[in-house]
Chains A and B, each alone.
Chain A
Amino acid sequence: MPYFDIKSFNELRPGMILWWVLDLACLCEQSIRLGGLHKVTASMWLVLLMHGIYIVDALYNEVRSISLLLWHPPCLPYLTSINPAQIAFSASQTEHHRALAISTMVSTRSSNRETVTTVTATTQIDIPLHPLSFYVSPISKPSSIIAHSLKRAVSTTTKEVTLAQVGIMSALIRTYNIRNDPVRDSLGVLSRRNTNKVNYKAKMSW
C-alpha cells in the first residue's frame, strides 16, 4: 500500500481543486445574475486568473511547494473563495469598466525620513473598494493611509469594511517586515530616487 498522508490529501483534493471549483461556481452565479457569461466582470476573470495561477503552481509542484503552505484545513477553499463570492454578490454592470483594478504592492520610502510605507497602486483612482484592491491615496505616511482607507471604508457596506481591515492589516504586516529586513534596503534606495514627483502609476512594478 502506498504511503497515504491525510494532510497532503486534504491540501490537494478538497483543498486546491475544490477551491477552483468554488471559484467557477462564483463565476456561474455572477453569470446568472448579470445574464450571460459574456457579462461577467473583469474583476471576476482576474480573480480566476490569479487563483488559477496559484492552484496550478501548487498542484504541478506538489511535493516541493507543499511545505510552503502554512495552513490547510478542509475549510481553506471556502475561506479563499470569499473574494469571488463577494464580487459575484456586489458586481453591477457599471462596475465592469472600472473594475480593471490590477493592484500591486509598491513599497516606497519617503525621502526625509526612514518610514517605509506600503502603497497599493491602482490603475484608476476612483475604483470602489472591493476585494481586489484596497484604496490607497498617494500619501507617504502609513497613518494617513490607514485613516484614509478607514474613512472611505466607513461609507461602504459592512462586508467591505471587513475586507478593508484585512487589507490594512496586511499592509501593516508588510510595512513591519520591510522595515526589519535589511535585504529590502535596495528597494528603498531604488524608490527614493523617484520620491520628488509622486506618480504611482508610473512606478507600478511587479
Chain B
Amino acid sequence: MFSSSSGVIPLTHSLYAVAFSTLLLTTGLIGGLLINPSTSSKGQELLSWLYDRWLGLLTAAFVNSVLQAVAVYWQSFHSGELLAKGGNSGNFVYDVSSFFMNECSHGD
C-alpha cells in the first residue's frame, strides 16, 4: 500500500491495464473454439453450461458479494485505511451497501 503525501492513491496502469488483454484473450479462446468446425459443437455445449445454471450462479454471486461487503466493512475499521467519500457516513446500512451502489472506493 503506497500513498502519497497528499493522501491520494496514485492510480497507475500497472495492475489495471491487464483487464483489457484478459478480455481479448478470453474472446480469442472462445471465438477460436466456436469458429473451428471440429470443436464448434463441443464448445457450444460447454458454454451453454453457463446458460443452464444461470440462477444458481447468480445466487452464488449474490452470496459472495454480501460476504465481500461485510468483509470490506469489517476491514474498514482497521487503522490506516483510506475510506471512500460515499462509504464513510457512519450509518451502518449506508456504509455496507456502499459496496454495491456507490462509486469505486478509490475516490476522486
Q: Which residues of A contact B (CB under 8 A)?
A: 1-8, 10-14, 16-17, 20-22, 24-29, 31-32, 37, 55-56, 59-60, 62-63, 66-67, 69-75, 77-79, 81, 85, 88
* Total number of residue pairs linking A and B with CB closer than 8 Å: 125
Q: If A2-B14, A31-B44, A67-B103 touch, does A78 touch B58 (CB 8 Å cutoff)?
A: yes
When the two chains form their complex, are residues B72 and A6 in contact, meaning their CB atoms are under 8 A apart? yes
- CB <8 Å contact, B23 and A16: yes
Q: Given A16-B19, A75-B58, is A5 in contact with B104 using a C-beta cutoff of 8 Å? A: yes
In the complex, what distance in Å separates the CA atom of A59 from the CA atom of B17?
8
Q: Is the CB of B23 within 8 A of A71?
A: no
Known pairs A2-B14, A28-B44; A10 contacts B68 (CB<8 A): yes
Chain A: interface secondary structure?
A: helix
Q: 7 A–B contact pairs at CB < 8 A?
A: A5-B105, A6-B68, A6-B72, A8-B106, A11-B104, A60-B20, A73-B62
Q: B19 contacts A73, CB within 8 Å?
A: no
Given A63-B11, A71-B101, A12:B51 Cβ within 8 A: no
Main SS of chain B's interface residues?
helix
- Whether the Cβ atoms of B26 and A20 lie closer than 8 Å is yes
Closest to B55 in A: A78
Residues of B near A67 (CB, < 8 A) are 103-104, 108
Which B residues are CB-close (under 8 A) to A62?
A: 13, 16-17, 19-20
Question: Is B70 engaged at the interface, CB distance under 8 Å to the other chain?
Answer: no
In the complex formed, the residue of A with least CB distance to B84 is: A7
On B, residues with C-beta under 8 Å from A are 1-2, 9, 11-17, 19-20, 22-23, 26-27, 30, 34, 40, 43-45, 47-52, 54, 57-58, 61-62, 64-65, 68, 72, 99-106, 108
Bound-complex Cα distance A73 to B55 (A): 16
Residues A29 and B48 in contact in the complex (CB < 8 Å), given A8-B106, A56-B23, A73-B62: yes
B19→A59 contact, CB < 8 A: yes
Residues of B within 8 A of A32 (CB): 44-45, 48
Instruction: With A26-B51, A73-B62, A73-B100 given, name 12 new contacts (CB 8 A).
Output: A3-B15, A7-B105, A8-B16, A14-B61, A20-B26, A24-B47, A28-B43, A32-B44, A59-B19, A63-B13, A73-B65, A78-B54
The answer, among A7, A16, A59, for a CB contact under 8 Å with B104, is A7
Chain A residues with CB below 8 A from B54, complex form: 22, 78, 81, 85
Closest 10 CB pairs of A and B: A25-B50, A28-B44, A78-B58, A73-B65, A28-B47, A29-B51, A12-B19, A74-B61, A59-B20, A29-B48
Bound Cα distance A178, B93 (Å): 32
Nearest residue, chain B, Cβ from A22: B50
A33 CB → nearest B CB, Å: 9
Of B2, B16, B34, most buried by chain A (CB within 10 Å of CB) is B16
